[in-house]
Amino acid sequence: MTSSSADFVEIRQLRKSFGGADVLKGVDLVFRLGEIHAFIGANGAGKSTLLGCLSGAVEPSSGTIAIDGEVFDTLSPRLALEKGIGIIYQHFQVVEGLTVADNIFLGSELRRMGIVDTRQQNERAAALLARLGAVLAPDMPLERLSVGERQIVEIARALRIGPKVLILDEPTAALSDREMSALHDVVRTLAHAENIAIVYVTHLIDEIKAIADCVTVLRDGAVVWTRPAARIDSRQIAEAIAPNSKGLGQATALRSDARSLLQLHNYASPYTGPIDLDIRAGEIVGVYGLMGSGRTDLLESLVGARPRRSGEMLLEGRLLSISDPGAAMRAGIAFVASDRNEQSLFGSLPAIENLLMPHLGGFARKRAVHAALFERAAHDLSLHPANPALEARRFSGGNAQKLVMGRWLLPGLKVRLLVLDEPTQGVDIGARAEIYKLLHDFAQAGGAVVIASSDPTEIRALANRILVLGQGRPVELIEREISEDELVHLAHNSFAAKRGTSHGKPFGELSTESSHAAHVD
């Protein structure tokens, strides 16, 4: 932090509610010129909503935002830009088929006599890139750039408006070590040499020590604390993000004589692995990690939605070669994706069709059995309302998730392994307890469950064993009691994972760096 630091943005008692649910609960924050302010919290803490209010994408319910002394009740995206607030989102806004310079000036092209002035754009783009220490040709096609280089193009575009505040939302989620280090150098230059206030959103505790001057932890829509980075350690941050739960406790260990159901030998998905793991009947295995850890990549590979890169998968001793989700279903492996609205639920169709959708060409082809199946499933799932004709989008988040999960819990399916990605995302506490019971009942009946979650309380309560992932590498397979803050600490220890350091059982290392922008949560 430089001596020129000065308060530029002051957020006072900012509140935001969506449909009666309080997402922000009176947030007070200050962002200063010349300072890198790390902003951290678990999924659902309210980070995105707060940044949306600051960038003009979300209208606050109450509170004020003061920018350089001028007070606003709400901002529009245009007004935020005019007042010097720029934001770079986690998912890149660059466009393939255009050059570096075209992307930097996208939407604000420099024109001469109505025609894009390519020469002038290239000259100004070169000057912006030089400020960032980037060796990129302005006329280079975007598709030739690495993920880290595309991130630099995003920053150069943001600098074009002359921001006083620059928000970076999870900027290193898909970067390699080298690209991450280069980005850190750029961010330090912008803050400490150019006196820009940097709001740096990250899930990585170890990254904070490398980059931040100041740290704020947000939990359940409220600021836990704001402290100088030099005066805190990673354990304090982990405890602030996920204090020990006093309600759910920890799942019990599985009997050592339980039979093997699914075995992974030196198994690697496109981004994650290699992994050796024996999943046993009656067991719930939790996969815990942060954004970019490889949770979704691994799970989708197990069910054929992504390819297997190497290694073997055996189901009850039989070698499997699963090329698509249909083959997984036929083998007795079912998958529930993380985004039910985009990937699973047919919102305009009635509940009965959503429940039976995957089976209408199989055992549920006879319409005479549909009503009986729905009635039994609604009872077993505690579905409310138990109305087969109600459109799926009319159900609450928890009951919609029960519909999606219920597809694989119908009688006679012979599902042996249930794979779930963030199964309680957007689900209230009461419905969560009911979903947990469904998973425990499935396991106790002889099946096995693999569940990926970013919620340490959930993982600790459900899983007999926990596989912690960090940036595509296995960090530890936990077969002991563990506190939530320790679990968070392990997951954030991504640098150690990338160097091949383990806190428990050793795992193999991935031989190549991640250099793609695929969604790898």
CATH of the domain at 296: 3.40.50.300
Q: Compute the radius of gyration of the chain from its Cα atoms.
A: 25
For residue 515, the model assigns a pLDDT of 31
Q: At a CB cut-off of 8 Å and minimum separation 6, what does 336 contact?
A: 344, 404, 405, 408, 418, 419, 420, 421, 423
Q: Is residue 246 part of a domain?
A: no
409, 377 Cβ separation under 8 angstroms: yes
Q: Give the span between the Cα atoms of 383 and 394, in whole angstroms.
A: 13
Tally of CB atoms within 10 A around 383? 23
Q: Are residues 216 and 268 in the same domain?
A: no
Q: Are residues 330 and 237 in the same domain?
A: no
Q: Are residues 63 and 100 in the same domain?
A: yes
Q: Are residues 191 and 85 in the same domain?
A: yes
Tell me the residue type at 347.
G
User: pLDDT tens, position by position, for the chain (521 residues)?
Assistant: 444 458 899 999 999 987 777 889 999 999 999 999 999 887 667 888 899 999 999 999 999 999 999 999 999 999 999 999 998 887 677 888 899 999 888 878 888 888 888 898 999 999 988 888 888 899 999 888 887 888 888 888 888 888 999 998 888 766 666 778 888 988 999 999 999 999 998 877 778 888 999 999 998 889 999 999 999 988 888 788 876 544 455 566 666 667 899 999 999 999 998 999 999 999 999 999 877 788 999 999 999 999 999 999 999 999 998 989 889 988 999 998 887 777 778 888 888 888 888 776 666 556 667 888 888 888 888 888 888 888 888 887 778 888 888 888 887 778 999 999 988 876 655 567 788 888 998 999 899 999 998 888 889 889 999 999 988 889 999 988 888 888 888 887 654 444 443 333 333 332 223 333 334 45
Q: Which residue has the tokens 């409310």?
A: 384
CA atoms within 13 A on the CB side of 33: 14
The kind and range of the H/E element at 136 are: none
Do strands 333-336 and 260-268 pair parallel, antiparallel, or not at all (unpaired)? Answer: unpaired
In DSSP terms, 315 is beta-bridged to 262, 318
The kind and range of the H/E element at 178 are: helix 177-188
Q: Give the span between the Cα atoms of 40 and 38, in whole angstroms.
A: 6
Token couple for 308: 């297997």
Q: Are residues 234 and 282 in the same domain?
A: no
Q: Is residue 108 part of a domain?
A: yes
Q: Is residue 500 part of a domain?
A: no
Q: Is residue 129 part of a domain?
A: yes
DSSP string, 475-500: EEEE-S---HHHHHHHHH-HHHHHTT
Q: Is residue 518 part of a domain?
A: no
Tell me the residue type at 73.
D
Tally of domains within the chain: 2
For residue 506, the model assigns a pLDDT of 34
Q: Is residue 505 part of a domain?
A: no
Diameter of the chain by CA atoms? Answer: 79
Q: Give the span between the Cα atoms of 100 and 152, in whole angstroms.
A: 10
Q: Give the span between the Cα atoms of 158 and 171, in whole angstroms.
A: 13
Q: Give the span between the Cα atoms of 500 and 502, in whole angstroms.
A: 6
Q: Are residues 178 and 265 in the same domain?
A: no
Question: Which of 338, 331, 311, 317 has the alpha carbon at shortest distance from 474?
Answer: 311
| Cis previous bond, 325, omega within 30 | no
Do strands 448-453 and 260-268 pair parallel, antiparallel, or not at all (unpaired)? Answer: unpaired
Name the E strands within 51-141.
62-67, 70-72, 85-88, 111-112, 115-116
Burial (CB count within 10 angstroms: exposed 0-12, middle 13-18, buried 19+), residue 510: buried
Phi-psi sector, 145: left (phi>0), alpha (psi -120 to 50), beta? beta
Helix axis angle, 429-444 relative to 397-406, nearest 10°?
20
Phi-psi sector, 56: left (phi>0), alpha (psi -120 to 50), beta? left
CA 77 from centroid of its chain's CA atoms = 24
Write out the residue range of the structural domain in which residue 410 sits.
260-492
For residue 516, the model assigns a pLDDT of 33
Q: Give the span between the Cα atoms of 49 and 31, in whole angstroms.
A: 17
Q: Are residues 229 and 265 in the same domain?
A: no
In DSSP terms, 25 is beta-bridged to 15
Q: Give the span between the Cα atoms of 468 and 477, in whole angstroms.
A: 6
Q: Are residues 16 and 144 in the same domain?
A: yes
Q: Give the span between the Cα atoms of 237 and 242, in whole angstroms.
A: 9
CA 69 from centroid of its chain's CA atoms = 35
Q: Is residue 497 part of a domain?
A: no
Q: Are residues 230 and 108 in the same domain?
A: yes
DSSP string, 287-308: EE--TTSSHHHHHHHHTTSS--
Instruction: From 241, 273, 303, give the residue that closes a domain.
Output: 241
Q: Are residues 307 and 335 in the same domain?
A: yes
Phi-psi sector, 396: left (phi>0), alpha (psi -120 to 50), beta? beta
Whole-model pTM?
0.59
DSSP string, 226-281: EEEGGG--HHHHHHHHSPPPSSS--PPPPPTTPPEEEEEEEEE-SSS--EEEEEET
Name the E strands within 144-256.
165-169, 197-201, 214-219, 222-228
For residue 77, the model assigns a pLDDT of 92
347, 391 Cβ separation under 8 angstroms: yes
For residue 246, the model assigns a pLDDT of 43
Q: Are residues 374 and 462 in the same domain?
A: yes
Angle at 244 between CA 431 and CA 287, to 5 degrees: 65
Q: Is residue 470 part of a domain?
A: yes
267, 315 Cβ separation under 8 angstroms: no
Q: Are residues 303 and 381 in the same domain?
A: yes
Q: Which residue has the tokens 């600098």?
A: 159
